[in-house]
Structure formats: structure tokens, C-alpha cells
Structure 1
Amino acid sequence: MRYRVSHRTTYSYDDDVSSSFGLAHCRPRDLPWQEVASRSVTIDPLPGDLTDDVDHYGNIVSYFHVTDPHVQLTIDAVSEVTVLPTVYDEDALAQPWELARPILNPAVSRGAWAATEFALESPKARHVDAAHAYAAASLTPGRPIGEAVTDLMHRIKTDFDYDKTATTVTSTVADVMDKRAGVCQDFAHLALACLRSHGMAARYVSGYLATRPPAGKPRMVGADASHAWVAAWIPGSDQWLAFDPTNDQWAADRHVTVAWGRDYGDVPPVKGVIFTEAKRSTLRVAVDVAPLEDYPEG
């Protein structure tokens, strides 16, 4: 599928901001299953410095510094992307999940060294006992990797409610386990804690999900949002099985990948520092992922 992705982030303040420093993960990655035809980031007010770089994980990061006084800051990211479903190695998926532990099995695959970092605990995906115990029901001895990961995905979707009011950006895996509710970011961190606490390597993926309207209804522009899912390492093939516990499905041609890291803290869409006397601020985010044919040429 070919998409036009628009992601607008707007900060408003009740007093002048004299200087804004920020970084944004808003540009989709070029990947074997994802081709990026174009991608741009524009910022208003015009920054004195806007530079793109590539981080430790290969993600594109936009750094900016706005020096003109402002009471509103807008970051607009627009991309055109083609996404294909990933074809996985069925034999690799049939391996026992225990082999997908690069720290315990460093010689199992040539890519084990690169996966090792993603088997370790990270700040937002702590290996709490409750998550370890929850995962054990899916990670039974000798179970195939693909089957075990998919079962965990099914159970998270069944056992946890999607509730925007249940958690905040500071909520922990323990909080999510206790409330049995959260949003996509929470379910991704939970899945990471479940897999990593048993030694498996898995990474946090940030991106977008194209929504499909009910039959006969038009798409609602702006109805999409930033999304998060997980990718579990598959030894042998050195592929990563991308799965979406929020929607109970493997990531496919509706998932646009922007960045990945250990957890949300590595790849927030936008973060930064401001210098101001403002007492209040508001944040508005609007994301739209539309099939490219919705936008006529010219």
C-alpha cells in the first residue's frame, strides 16, 4: 500500500518562548519492506538550525533550534511511503522460542550480537515479576517462536482494555499489569517486559497505523494517530517478527515504521527543552495516514 502520512504537532504557550531546542522522530525509515518516496519536516517559526542525523539504531532524527520569540511552535512532517507485508521464514518461526535468547545463545545466529541489547531491561520496560509470570503461560517449553509470540499477543488483546484514561506517559509496566488497561505504548512496553524477562530479544517500534472506515463510510482525515508495536528477534533468519498487541495482528502493510529502540524513551515523536516564563502550555497532535490515491496529482 502507498500512503501519504501527515503528522502535525503544535505547542501553544501563555507567554513568549525565547528559545526552543528539540528533536523529532517523524521521518519513516527505508526498509526492505518499506520504500520512502519523500519525507520532509517543516517548523514554524522557522528555526535557525534544522539538521537531520541518523541515531545509534539507524533512525532518522531531526534536530532543531528556534531562536525567534514565539507563543506557538508547529512541527509538520509529511511523507509518501509504500509498505509491503513482510514474508517470514517459516522454518525460523518454527524454532523453539528458547533459541531467541541471544545472551544465552550467542552462537545461534550471526545476528545474535546485534540483538543482545534488545534482550536487556530498559527504563520503560522493567522486568517486573508480574510480567514474567504472565508471559510464562505463552512461553511454554519448546514452543515455536511464532506460535509463542502470537499467543502472547492474543492474550494481551483479550486481557487488557484499551483505555486512554487509565495511564499517562509516566505509567510503568507494573501500573499496566495492575490496572489491566492502557494504550498502545503501554501494551508495547508490557510485551517487551514479558519477552525480555524470559531472555528473548525484542524492540519497541514507533510509527503509524492506517485506519479503515466501516463499509460505506468515508475515511476521517486526522483519525489516525502515532502508534507503537513490538518486533521479536528470530534467530537463523535474523528477521524480526513485528506484532501489534493493541490490534491483535502481525504488523503488515497498514503499519508505517518510523523508528525503533529499546522503548518509547529512545524514539519519542518530539521532545525538547524551552526557555520561557510561561506558566501553561498545551499540546495538539494530528496524524493522518491516507492511501495516496486519495490525493490527486498536481
Structure 2
Amino acid sequence: MSGKRYRVLHRTVYVYSDAVTSSYGRAYLTPREFSGQALREHEIRVDPVPSDRSVGLDVYGNTTLYFHVTSDHRRLEVTGESVVDVERPAAASSSPPWEQARPTAGHGPLAVEFTLDLAPPEITPEIAAYAAESFEPDRPLLDAVTELNTRIHADFTYESGSTTVSTRVADVFAAREGVCQDFARLALACLRSRGLAARYVSGYLATEPPPGTERVVGADATHAWAAVWLPGESGGHWIGFDPTNDQFADERYVTLAWGRDYADVPPLRGIIYTDAQESTITVSVDVAPVEV
């Protein structure tokens, strides 16, 4: 296999100050299967054991788990464990001028939805002007995306805790700081301002410790990046790129799910019924290489 195999352990623990009588959850914790990524093993464990659970596909083909815990509890733990093979994507030798990469109803119809802005809108005149600096007329698409990727990496500071999942892209742009989800969403707004198809990708980035040091289990985190649609045979294909690290996605990137925005594919969301006034959440992620 021209790639890597990983064992992924993603654990989320909620602790409440009073009993929760009912907890509904939806988890996007099942890695996708597609050309370049194969799921070898997978399990999602929920504690307390749900009285009801079901697995299905959303509109984008992502696998989701729904569960309902009806026993009283003050602690809820959701753990996803997977073994995934990831191959290195084939490098694109060339790309058309970006203007020719805009999908239409007759050319890349499944990608058209990913050109649309969100509601409320995320594309502002300032973001459109920022994107335009990289998308000069007739410039090859991947050249423009490469430059945009580098500019976001250079112009914005990674600052953990500086934003929340509800922070608007315009606010990230003004503050010039955020986290990987913010930088991916900014890249999407930039591409869509040019009429290009761009999707949000949720997953993991395998990281290796410095030479001579041991891996720290649970120290990794979920990651997010963007993907741009490149026209071609069989409906074209998507190329992932990561503004947080100024690189294109390779065999170190494990894909969980994709959609138009973070809100489409959060790793875990839910609704609880409780009188608790306080709660804490602890998330640990470990992406460990496995010998093939």
C-alpha cells in the first residue's frame, strides 16, 4: 500500500453537575470510504448504553450515528475507534484557468451546491477582495489555490480558544486569528467568492513527535481543512488543502466527513434534559500509525 494505516481513538466525555434524564446525540465519528481511503475496523461506544441507536447516511454521504440515552446519568462518554488506510493522492500535474473550473448544471452539477454562500452570508466585500489578490485572470486554478493557502497561513495567527464554533468568518478575518476550522471556513468563503466549488472537510491529521521523544497518547486533536473542485473526467475530483499548515492534504490526513460548513459535520452534537447548572467537556484524540 502506497500510504499509511492508522488507529484512531476519539473520546469525548461530558460531566454534569446534576442528573441528565434524557440525552439525544448525533455523531460524525465514522471515517469515510472513498478512492484513497479505506475503513478497516470501526466501532462507536456510548456509555451509558443508549436505549435507542441507529446508523444512517446524510445528504452528503457521511455516516452518522444517532443515539438516545434515557437512564439518569451525570457522565456521558462517546468513543469512536477506527483503523483506516490512507493513500497519498496523485499529484495534479496541471489545472485549467480558475475561471474554467467553475461548475455548472451541465459541467460538474454535483459540485454546484458547494459554490453557494451560507445563510447568513459569509462572503463580504473584504473577503472577496482578499481572494481576488490570488485569482488573477487566466491563472491556473491550483497556482491560485496554492498562493491563497500560503497567504492565509502567513496572515492569520493560530490561537487556541480565540473563537467558538459559531464565530463568523468576517470576525475571524477582522481579528486575523483563529483555529483550523476558522481558516478552512475562510478559505471556503474566498473560493466561493470567485464562483468556485469548495467544501469543508472534518478529520484528523497524524502528527509525529520530535525525534527521540515518545508519542503522547490523546494529545492530538480533530482537524479541519478545505477542498476545491477540479474539473475532469467522471465528474471531476476534489483536492484538499490545509491553510493551517500551508500544505495540500496527503496520506497523513484522515477524513471523517465533508459538507458545506462545520455546522454540517460536527464530530458530536446533541440535546439534553437536565437541571444541571454546570458541565464540562473533555476531548482526547489519538492517531497512531499501525504497521501493515
Say whether residues 1:156 and 2:141 are aligned partners.
Answer: no
> Equivalent of 2:232, from 232, 236, 246?
236
For residues 32 and 161 of structure 2, the distance between their equivalents in structure 1, rounded to whole angstroms, comes to 31
Deviation at 1:102, TM superposition (A): 1.6
- Extract unaligned runs of 5+ from structure 2: none
**Distance change (3 Å), C-alpha of 1:124 and 1:100:** farther
**4+ residue runs over 2 A deviation:** 88-91
Judge conservation of contact 1:209–1:226 (CA < 8 Å) in 2. Answer: yes
For residues 124 and 264 of structure 1, the distance between their equivalents in structure 2, rounded to whole angstroms, comes to 14
For residues 120 and 254 of structure 2, the distance between their equivalents in structure 1, rounded to whole angstroms, comes to 23
Deviation at 1:89, TM superposition (A): 4.1
Root-mean-square deviation over aligned CA pairs: 1.4
Instruction: Give the equivalent residue in structure 2 for 1:21.
Output: 24
Partner SS for 2:13? strand
**TM-score in terms of structure 1 length:** 0.94
For residues 185 and 202 of structure 2, the distance between their equivalents in structure 1, rounded to whole angstroms, comes to 12
Instruction: Give the equivalent residue in structure 2 for 1:274.
Output: 272
Query: One-letter code of the match for 1:70?
Result: H
Structure 1 segment 243-254 matched on structure 2, within 5 A = 243-254=241-252
Say whether residues 1:290 and 2:279 are aligned partners.
Answer: no
Query: One-letter code of the match for 1:250?
Result: F
Judge conservation of contact 1:222–1:288 (CA < 8 Å) in 2. Answer: yes
Deviation at 1:165, TM superposition (A): 3.0
Judge conservation of contact 1:19–1:66 (CA < 8 Å) in 2. Answer: yes
Deviation at 1:293, TM superposition (A): 3.6
Instruction: Give the equivalent residue in structure 2 for 1:143.
Output: 139
Instruction: Give the equivalent residue in structure 2 for 1:39.
Output: 42
Deviation at 1:123, TM superposition (A): 4.0
- Extract unaligned runs of 5+ from structure 1: none
Deviation at 1:141, TM superposition (A): 0.5
Instruction: Give the equivalent residue in structure 1 for 2:114.
Output: 118
Judge conservation of contact 1:243–1:249 (CA < 8 Å) in 2. Answer: yes
For residues 203 and 149 of structure 1, the distance between their equivalents in structure 2, rounded to whole angstroms, comes to 14
Structure 1 segment 64-213 matched on structure 2, within 5 A = 64-91=67-94, 93=95, 95-103=96-104, 106-107=105-106, 109=107, 112-123=108-119, 126-213=122-209
Judge conservation of contact 1:124–1:189 (CA < 8 Å) in 2. Answer: no
281-290 or 236-245: bigger deviation: 236-245
Query: One-letter code of the match for 2:137?
Result: P
Partner SS for 2:43? strand
For residues 22 and 123 of structure 1, the distance between their equivalents in structure 2, rounded to whole angstroms, comes to 24
Query: Could you give the per-residue CA deviations for residues 63-92 of structure 1, whole angstroms, max 9, x where no partner exists?
Result: 00000000010000000001011114424x
For residues 34 and 174 of structure 1, the distance between their equivalents in structure 2, rounded to whole angstroms, comes to 34
Deviation at 1:100, TM superposition (A): 1.8
**Distance change (3 Å), C-alpha of 1:125 and 1:260:** farther
